[in-house]
Amino acid sequence: MKLRRYHAAVWDEPLVLEMGAPGRRGVVFGEAEPDIVSVVGDSEALVPDGMLRAAPPVLPELSEPEVLRHYLHLSQETLGMMGVSLFGTCTMKYNPRLATELAERPEIAELHPDQADETLQGVLELVHGLDLILRGVSGMDAFVFQPGGGAHAAYTHAVIARAYHAARGELGERDEVVTTIQAHPCNSATAAAAGFKIVTLPLEENGYPSLAALEAAVSERTASLMVGNPDDMGIYNPEIDKWVEIVHDAGGLCFYDHANFNGVMGKIKARELGFDACMYMLHKTFGAPKGGGGPAVGAYGCTEELARFLPEPVVVRDGDRYRLDRDRPDSVGKVREFWGNVPQLVYAYTWSRAMGAEGIRQAAEISVLANNYMEKRLLAIRGVTKSHPHLTAPRLEMTRYSLEAVERDTGITVFDVQNRMVDFGIDAFWLSHEPWLVPQPFTPEAGEMWSKEDIDEWIDVLAHVVDEAYADPEVVRTAPHNQAIRRLGATDLNDPAQWATTWRAHIRKQRTGAGIADPA
Amino acid sequence: MTAHPYMPNSTPDLERALLDAVGAPDVESLFSQIPAAHRLKGELELPPALVSEAALRRHMVDMLARNADCERNLSFLGGGIWQHHVPAICDEVVRRSEFLTPVWGTPSSDHGRNQAWFEFTSQLAELIGMDFVGLPVYSWGCAAGHAVRMAARLTGRSHVLVPDTISPERLAVIRTYCGAAELPGQIEIEFIGHDAVTGGVDVGDLERRLSARTAAVLFDNPSFLGGIEQRAVQLAALARSHGAETIVGVDPLSLGILAPPCDYGADIVVGSTQPLGVHMSCGGGAGGFIATRDDPRYAREYPTLLLSISETVAGEHGFGMALFEQTSYGSREEGNDWTGNSVYLWAVANAVYLSLMGPEGFAEVGRLIIARSHYAARRLAEIDGVRVVFPEGFFKEFVVDFGGSGKRVAEVNSGLRDRGIFGGKDLSNDFPEFGQSALYCVTEVHTQADLDRLASAVAEVVA
């Protein structure tokens, strides 16, 4: 194996706030036309007394080419997906650049959401078409795209559960949401933010909570179940249909967090398993880009019974016309302004149409096959183990591993390994959501976009870094060495005297030597 | 079978090679965890695949051609998403694959993106006069919803006062975030009346409604109806005297000419990031921010990720997450609300925009917008049957009442659409007290010729 001689661009790029020269301009608008000035007079006189800005903002003064080159330098100091990124639980995907081009066209970029329906027929058709595609893969009856991410879709479910039980006059008594310790933290966090108490089930021997534990947790107080399946360890709960029955029998709703959909696309449908609602991350599974954290879409789908509670507006088809239905008296209202991150819907529609049913099914198969291939090679590396090793059935699209033995033998942690792998152009792997159930965890996911050569390269780099951990741990402990900057030092970013989320706070704290004392 | 262009391992040879390495007879055997009864019944019913990019592009372009956009038409829609000029290099930077596609990385390997984010928070801080800024949230309404919840936690109170002129769209979001009466933690929303002459918050009414239950007073500046809040200092002082937090929503693009909220006593500032270099995209350009003073009391209530400047072992600037434990990632349901994907790519566009603008860009665009919006208002007010409800003291939006013409807004807008113009947002359902009124938005993209054309078209339509 021959590893790449990668080195990141190092620009020592100053902060933009330190750049520029007085009087330079990056954009010029000009002044109002003389006729306008003659009608309205001086602009500043149009501002009510006391509301005129007294001192200009202390912003850098730069020309256009300087700004462009500055941000190009910063882009080059961003590894992201330029190398191989097998970031588990996030399904790193190919984002069709056809969609980038389409979303930039004025027919998308220059639309206003309050335009008359008759001027929005193209985008409404696209949204409706995507709704139908997601109904096809889930079996649900309606999808909305207003939630701005997966967590926001989980929140949407919690809000719909509120409305559903309130409509039945039971909300006061139904104040609990049941989830599992392996469910993404957003499920419990959003349900709590919506006002529910959280009941979290621990894992048992088979890698998921037992039916007995669920039965003990579910009661007439249960508003909803919120779970994912398979989980982040690649373990599928084969009793999930029985879970749904138990929760339904108690009068609760069942929400399927389909963040980990990639391995089961075209294999199962949330509705056929009995779920009332589900969520897909269009920025993960359906080809929209990650953008470092959005704009994203948590597509929320549900049954006809819950559809009346969906956030409005909902896109509906009337014959060969499309319209935004805003007259929905039982709707929960809104979780975000307008009707969704439309450019991301363009990606998801483009990706889904390029793939088709056969491509989507094949992508799931390739993802699972690639993960099992990885598992074979990764477990051959010294010190790499997997969670629940006694479970021998093949994992789905990801497996949770541990470097506990490496850490014990060498003191090298998963953070050190992340920092060393980036020296070879490999994006940091995902560890695990809180709490860590497996010590020193890491969770790669190959998906369908990475070639066998990419996957082999990733594994070769990890194997090399583990070898280094045993042979020359210092090189790993002090990594990265080939990156835009070295690793962060010992600054305590939880200390009010040291944190600074803005340049002006940083300058002040440097000048005074300390921030405001923390009364806590 | 033809390999799929998005899937490098979709050749039969590679499938066989991977299966052989795994030691599996076929792909199906790898799904043995899923009980047969759970498996899909029948095939997926999806529209036919368009694997050919040429065919797919043709299909998409044909579909999108059925949209009429604000570039080929003259639009005066605003009210939460606004048509502002997006400098070309904002697009050039955010389409870079390095910024378009990354997931998370490390402080070293995604350093450039982290620096761009920090340049967003830092420059926004200069504009709004606050020195603690979180990474962005989904939208202005979501930011306001979180801010209200922060205020409730800060004060231990559960009542928020908002002007009755608040954006219905944002109010719907805030209502959702405020919870349900049957569950614990609900925050009650109460409306403050507005001044009939200025459209601003009625100070006397605020004073009457403030109490020891009030967690926060929230107002927007400019307001949803466009007006500049003239008594902001009094509003914030009244809130403070009752132990309540002052939450101010701002349009950051107004702050080259309007006083920043720190000048009149805001405690928590929220607003939209869309005017700062992000296209409308049918509402997909929405983004929001939360900012406060750099005071641990506030800092510890943020639900957002907080990116702090730091130093590497070699003394370089680097960036890391502050107060991560208080997020839902760190503490699940014990964290502050929740965090997750948001609109981080737009924060890069915002950083580019802020860098281009500089102090003079903001001052200039502020002067230009306020002049053109007032010109448009005066031209429209000259038309028989057309009245500008609050004729003074607005920034880029103003309320136009067509009641005197006997025409409904829907009729006016339909007539304008026939002339290639998208009229203002119809307020007649949400604000019946203004009759047949619409919210018109004028920005730097509208030339005098555009505004004269609007006035002529309105005159024809209402005649």
User: Do B412 and B308 share a domain, yes or no?
Assistant: no
Summarize the confidence of residues B371-380 as an average pLDDT.
98
Question: Based on the domain organization, do B319 and B193 belong to the same domain?
Answer: yes
Residues B374 and B403 in one domain: yes
Residue B383 inside a domain? The answer is yes
Stretch A239-259: mean pLDDT: 98
Asked if B67 lies within 8 A of A107 by C-beta distance, the reply is yes
Report the CATH number that the domain containing residue B297 is assigned in CATH. 3.40.640.10
Q: Select the residue from A112, A200, A377 to test the B interface by mutation, using most B Cβ atoms within 10 A.
A: A112
pLDDT tens-digit series, residues B171-197: 999 999 999 999 999 999 999 999 999
| Section B428-440 average pLDDT | 97
Domain boundaries, chain A: 16-76, 99-354, 494-520
The Cα A509–Cα A516 span in angstroms is 9
Query: Domain check: are B302 and B451 in the same one?
Result: no
Q: B189 in contact with A at a CB cutoff of 8 Å?
A: no
Contacts across the A-B interface (CB distance below 8 Å): 758
Residues from chain A contacting residue B9 (CB–CB below 8 Å)? 366, 369-370, 448, 450-452
A483 phi, psi to nearest 5 deg: -105, 175
Q: Flag whether pLDDT at A513 surpasses 70.
A: no
pLDDT, chain B, mean: 97
**Cut 0.80: pTM above it:** yes
Quick one: average pLDDT of B331-345? 94
Across the interface, whether the CB atoms of B22 and A373 are under 8 A apart is answered yes
Residue A230: both structure tokens together: 């398979």
The per-residue pLDDT for A410 is 98
Within a domain: residue B57?
no
DSSP per-residue string spanning B212-223 = TTEEEEEEEES-
Cα distance between residue B149 and residue B157, in whole Å: 10
Residues B273 and B312 in one domain: yes
Instruction: List chain A residues with CB under 8 Å of B284.
Output: 295, 338, 340-345
Examine residue B67 and state whether it is found in any structural domain, yes or no. Answer: no
Nearest CB neighbour to A295, from listed B19, B38, B284: B284
Instruction: For residues B159 and B106, state if they share a domain.
Output: yes
- Is B10–A27 a contact, with Cβ atoms under 8 angstroms apart? no
The torsion of the CA quartet A28, A32, A34, A38, rounded to 10 degrees, works out to -150
Same domain, B344 and B373: no
Q: What angle do CA A153, A353, A288 make, to 5 degrees?
A: 40
| Residue A517 in this model has a pLDDT that exceeds 50 | no
Vertex A44 angle, CA B86 and B452, to 5° = 60
Q: Is the pLDDT of residue A459 over 80?
A: yes
The answer to whether residue B461 scores a pLDDT higher than 50 is yes
As for the ipTM of the complex, it is 0.98
Chain A residues within 8 A of B260 when measuring between CB atoms: 53, 57
pLDDT of A220 > 70? The answer is yes
* pLDDT mean over A414-433: 97
Final residue in a domain of this structure, among B313, B333, B353: B353
Per-residue pLDDT of A78-91, as tens digits, reads 999 999 999 999 99
Question: Which residues of chain A have a CB within 8 Å of the CB of B272?
Answer: none
State whether B139 and B14 are in the same domain: no
CB contact under 8 A, A40 and B360: no
pLDDT more than 90, % of chain A: 97
Is the same domain home to B424 and B344? no
Confidence of residue A514 (pLDDT cuts 50, 70, 90): low
Domain membership of residue B333 (yes or no) is yes
Q: Which of B47, B358, B393, B228 is nearest to A57 (CA)?
A: B358
Chain A (170-199) residues lying within 8 Å, Cβ to Cβ, of chain B: 171-172, 175, 185-186, 188-196, 198
- Rounded CA gap, A276 and A270, in Å? 8
Q: Which of B312, B338, B351 sits opposite A485 (nearest CB)?
A: B312
pLDDT of residue A518: 42
What was the pLDDT predicted at A516?
Answer: 46
Q: Does B391 touch chain A (CB under 8 A)?
A: no
Residue B364 in contact with partner chain A when CB distance is under 8 A: yes
Kindly tell me if the per-residue pLDDT of A221 is higher than 70. yes
Helices (H), B200-267: 203-209, 232-241
Please report the pLDDT score of residue B387 as a whole number: 98
- Domains: count for chain B: 3
Residue B195, min C-alpha distance to chain A (Å): 15
Task: Name the pLDDT band for A512 (thresholds 50, 70, 90).
Answer: confident
Last residue of a domain, one of B332, B353, B374: B353
- Per-residue pLDDT tens digits for B32-69: 999 999 999 888 999 999 999 999 999 999 999 999 99
Q: What is the pLDDT of residues A340-380, one digit of tens each?
A: 999 999 999 999 999 999 999 999 999 999 999 999 999 99
∠A311-A313-A317 over CA atoms, to 5°? Answer: 125
Taking alpha carbons only, the member of A79, A503, A74 closest to residue B101 is A79
pLDDT at A127 over 80: yes
- Per-residue confidence (pLDDT) for residue A52, from 0 to 100: 98
Range of the domain at B20: 1-35
Q: Across all residues in chain A, what is the average pLDDT?
A: 96
- Full strand arrangement of the beta sheet holding A222-228: A142-144, A298-302, A277-281, A253-257, A222-228, A176-180, A197-201
Residue B20 at interface with chain A, using a CB cutoff of 8 Å? no
Tell me what the mean pLDDT of segment A449-465 comes to.
98
- Specify if B45 maps to a domain: no
Residue B109's closest chain A neighbor by CA? Answer: A79
**Do residues A60 and A19 lie in contact, with contact meaning Cβ atoms separated by under 8 Å?**
yes
Chain B residues near residue A283 by CB distance under 8 angstroms: 341
Last residue of a domain, one of B323, B353, B383: B353
- Which residues are within 8 A (CB) of A212 and not within 5 positions of it... i.e. 6 or more apart? none
| Same domain as B92, residue B7 | no
Collect all residues of chain B within an 8 Å Cβ-Cβ radius of residue A115: 68, 70, 75, 77, 422
In order, the DSSP letters of A444-456 are BB-TTTS-HHHHH
Tell me: the pLDDT tens digits for A162-196? 999 999 999 999 999 999 999 999 999 999 999 99
Is B362 in the same domain as B346? no
| Interchain CB contact of B142 with A (< 8 Å) | yes
> On the CB side of A182, how many CA atoms lie within 13 Å of its CA?
23
Q: What is the pLDDT of residue B113?
A: 98
Looking at residues B144-169, what average pLDDT do you find?
98
Task: Name the residue in chain A with its Cα closest to that of B106.
Answer: A428
* Residues A224, A160 contacting (CB under 8 angstroms): no
Q: Does B16 touch chain A (CB under 8 A)?
A: no
In a domain, B56, yes or no: no
**Portion 299-328 of A in contact with B at CB < 8 A:** none
Query: Mean pLDDT, to the nearest integer, of B290-313?
Result: 97
Same domain, B331 and B261: yes
* Tens-digit pLDDT profile for residues B360-371: 999 999 999 999
The yes-or-no verdict on residue A300 having pLDDT over 50 is: yes
Residues A50 and B359: their CA atoms lie apart, in Å, by 20
d(CA B353, CA B114): 16
B54 neighbors B418 (Cβ within 8 angstroms)? no
- Interface residue A449 vs chain B (CB under 8 A): yes
Q: What is the largest CA-CA distance in chain B?
A: 83
Fold of A99-354: Aspartate Aminotransferase; domain 2 (3.40.640)
Arithmetic mean of pLDDT, B120-133: 98
Within 452-471 of A, beta carbons closer than 8 Å to B belong to 452, 454
**Mean pLDDT within B8-19:** 97
